[in-house]
Amino acid sequence: ATHQIVGFGEACKIAINEMEKDFNHVFRLREEFFQDMKEYIQPNLPLENTIPYIFNIYFPNMNDEIIKQIYQSPRLILSAKSACSNHNTNTHSHVLHALGLNNIQMRHSCRLSIGKYTTREEMQTAVNIFKEMHKECVL
């Protein structure tokens, strides 16, 4: 249908025109997140080798109970597996395994995805939740 072809072309034009702005926005959000969280987390891959839209973090000092609470938080949507996993609950991410992480590191890791509509306030909320969970862990 002609109208769908024209609409798709227009959507592509908008995406191309906004691509650099969207990339820079997400890049800044990720950099601020890691700056705020540098005492609590570490990336599972060097950030310079990744796109800013998806990153995987490791909580080295959090116990299993706190990690479980993080995943059950109604205010965060996280994943312990790669997006292409078969979602078998008995295994860890095959991607993290291929990177050489051990079982504890994989169990204490999660994947975050952000995008052009992610706000600075949402990222700060995530930072606050992670920091609160960390406080519970050290008490």
- Cite the active site residues: 84
What does the CA dihedral 11, 12, 15, 19 come to, rounded to 10 degrees? 180
57: helix, strand or coil: strand
Residue 8: both structure tokens together: 């798709």
Q: Residue 51 and residue 37: Cα distance in Å, rounded?
A: 18
Residue 74: both structure tokens together: 């109604």
Per the CB < 8 A criterion, the answer to whether 59 and 40 are in contact is yes
What does the CA dihedral 74, 75, 80, 86 come to, rounded to 10 degrees? 60
